[in-house]
Amino acid sequence: MTDCIFCKIIKGELPGDFVYKNDSVAVFKSIKPSAPIHLLVVPQINRHIGSINDLEEGDRAIVSELFLVAKKVAKDFNLDQTGYKLVFNVGRGGGQLIDHLHLHLLGGWKNVEASRKNMP
Ligand code: 5GP
Ligand code: ZN
């Protein structure tokens, strides 16, 4: 998708603060964090997937990879012991503003009350 912000970030056409990349997934910081640590786990594959709504049977591998990368990066940021949230917004009614599938990885709050106040 030529006008997709996340496609442009992945291709290096727009700046992105990357914390991890492999062949199929990139992770970069959210420009407007909803948590002390707010990362976006994003597929970088040939097919542009808009949201969970657009997933097909053949997308099992990339969906698994999003979760496994999220788990790895959470550990890299020392969130594995303190805990974290993984969130998919789906469509405008679900709060999704960027139509490129992404998993929000959020954490770093000081206590459980703070962790329950903000959603991406
Ligand atoms: P959504 O609302 O679509 O689920 O989440 C979009 C996420 O992308 C939000 O965390 C928002 O702050 C982030 N975001 C929007 N535009 C940009 C951008 O240009 N660069 C980066 N790094 N993050 C962005
Ligand atoms: Zn895109």
Question: What pLDDT, on the 0 to 100 scale, is given for residue 1?
Answer: 65
Q: What domains appear along the chain, each with residue ranges and CATH number?
A: 5-33+43-98 (3.30.428.10)
Closest CA to 43 of 31, 60, 35, 33: 60
- Pick the ligand that lies closest to the CA of residue 9: 1
Q: From ligand 2's centre to the CA of 91, what distance in Å?
A: 14
Between CA 96 and CA 16 the distance in angstroms is: 19
Residues in CB range of 3: below 8 A, 6 or more apart: none
pTM: 0.97
Ligand 1 close to Cβ of residue 109 (< 6 A): no
The yes-or-no verdict on residue 12 having pLDDT over 80 is yes
